[in-house]
């Protein structure tokens, strides 16, 4: 069952209903089962206009309102911006560990980083997305917290299992003790292309469904789940927000639904019991 390229229907995360939280004009969802403070924020409550409307927090963007939105985010959750590292993913496999307290002159943006973790209390990570999976990791003992950005390019390179292995070694934790939360992201119900490039890639065969007329749906969640199992996580510690960003483009940004030029909604996680 637990094969990275062999998906089984038994391999399913625990689908849970996220808790909706409202604070200072912003709405976000959290998974109560994930111990670290975190939130999947909706696209509403910001100042951005047009394609970016309206709570876009992307770091690489032409949107003039993104910086103001990030400031509103930090104020709403009562987090000091100097305690936040902003991740700027590039669909690669770079992993950053922040295990010393932040200095005043630290670079607050980590370019070309798709995963970051910390063992220092009250350090937070911000990463913005619009369809990709944001995998949140922590444990009951509150040893660490962090996030993994997963798009189809780094999923194919086994990045989820690489992150699990790296965390386990760094913090001397058994993979079976790690708790994972899967963010709102695009699901196979909507992630459909005609003759996708993945069609010719052996890796993707278990995660493609032939819909006829040369159209295929792609199951990013299934591929991620296979890697979590391969890395040693167990069913009882994997929780899925079960929200498709394309289906719910009314509350989350979706590049698939809107086009690449769109906003990115923020996901925040930190080694704290709660925000503030």
pLDDT average, residue stretch 68-72: 97
- pLDDT tens for residues 89-130? 999 999 999 999 877 656 678 778 999 999 999 999 999 999
Does residue 216 lie within any of the structural domains?
no
What residues form DSSP beta bridges with 177?
Answer: none
Q: Kind and range of the H or E element at 40?
A: strand 37-41
* pLDDT of 104: 61
Which of helix, strand or coil describes residue 92? coil
Give the integer Cα–Cα distance in Å for 112 and 50: 27
Closest CA to 149 of 102, 187, 94: 94
Choice among 15-19, 31-35, 93-97, 219-223 with the minimum mean pLDDT: 15-19
162 alpha-carbon distance from chain centroid: 15
Residue 41 zone, left/alpha/beta (φ > 0; ψ -120 to 50; rest): beta
With residue 98 as reference, give the H or E element that holds it.
strand 95-98
What average pLDDT score do residues 249-265 get?
Answer: 95
32 Cβ neighbours under 8 A, 6+ residues apart: 16, 19
9 has pLDDT over 80: no
Model confidence pLDDT, tens digit, residues 169-203? 999 999 999 999 999 999 999 999 999 989 989 99
Q: Considering the domain boundaries, does residue 218 fall inside one?
A: no
pLDDT at 5 over 90: no
For position 4, what pLDDT does the model report?
36
Residue 75 in any domain: the answer is: yes
240 inside domain: yes
Question: Tokens 């849970």 map to which residue?
Answer: 16
What is the per-residue pLDDT for 215? 96
Print the domain residue range for 77: 15-187+235-270
**Buried b / exposed e across 182-201, counting CB within 10 Å, b at 16+?**
bbbbbbbebbbeeebebeee
Of 136, 162, 163, residue with least CA distance to 267 = 136
Looking at the structure of the chain, the number of domains it has is 1
Q: 6 in a domain, yes or no?
A: no
- Structure tokens belonging to residue 140: 């009951």
Write the Ramachandran bin of 234: left for phi over 0, alpha for psi from -120 to 50, otherwise beta.
Answer: beta
CATH of the domain at 245: 3.60.140.10
Q: Which tokens belong to 148?
A: 């993994």
With respect to residue 124, please indicate whether it lies within any of the assigned structural domains.
yes
**Residue 57 lies inside a defined structural domain of this protein:** yes
Note whether 32 and 19 are within 8 A (CB): yes
**Within a domain: residue 158?**
yes
């Amino acid at each position: 069952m637990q094969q990275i390229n062999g998906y089984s229907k038994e391999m399913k995360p625990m689908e849970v209903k996220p808790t909706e939280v409202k604070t200072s004009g912003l709405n976000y969802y959290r998974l109560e089962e994930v111990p670290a403070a975190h939130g999947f924020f909706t696209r509403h409550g910001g100042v951005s206009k047009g394609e970016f409307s309206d709570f876009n927090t992307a770091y690489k963007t032409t949107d003039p309102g993104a910086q103001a939105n990030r400031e509103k985010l930090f104020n709403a959750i009562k987090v000091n911006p100097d305690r936040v590292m902003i991740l700027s993913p590039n669909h690669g496999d770079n992993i950053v560990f922040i295990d010393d307290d932040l200095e005043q002159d630290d670079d607050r943006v980590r370019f070309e980083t798709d995963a970051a973790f910390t063992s220092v209390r009250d350090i937070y990570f911000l990463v913005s997305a619009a369809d990709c999976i944001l995998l949140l990791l922590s444990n009951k003992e509150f040893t660490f917290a962090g996030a993994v950005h997963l798009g189809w390019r780094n999923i194919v390179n086994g990045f989820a299992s690489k992150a699990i292995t790296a965390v386990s070694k760094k913090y001397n934790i058994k993979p079976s003790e790690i708790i994972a939360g899967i963010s709102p992201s695009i699901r196979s119900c909507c992630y459909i292309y005609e003759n996708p490039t993945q069609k010719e890639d052996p890796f993707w065969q278990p995660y493609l469904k032939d819909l006829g007329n040369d159209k295929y749906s792609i199951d990013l969640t299934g591929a991620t789940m296979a890697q979590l199992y391969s890395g040693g996580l167990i069913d009882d510690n994997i929780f899925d927000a079960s929200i498709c960003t394309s289906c719910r483009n009314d509350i989350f940004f979706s590049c698939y639904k809107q086009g690449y030029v769109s906003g990115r909604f923020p996901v925040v996680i930190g080694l704290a019991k709660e925000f503030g």
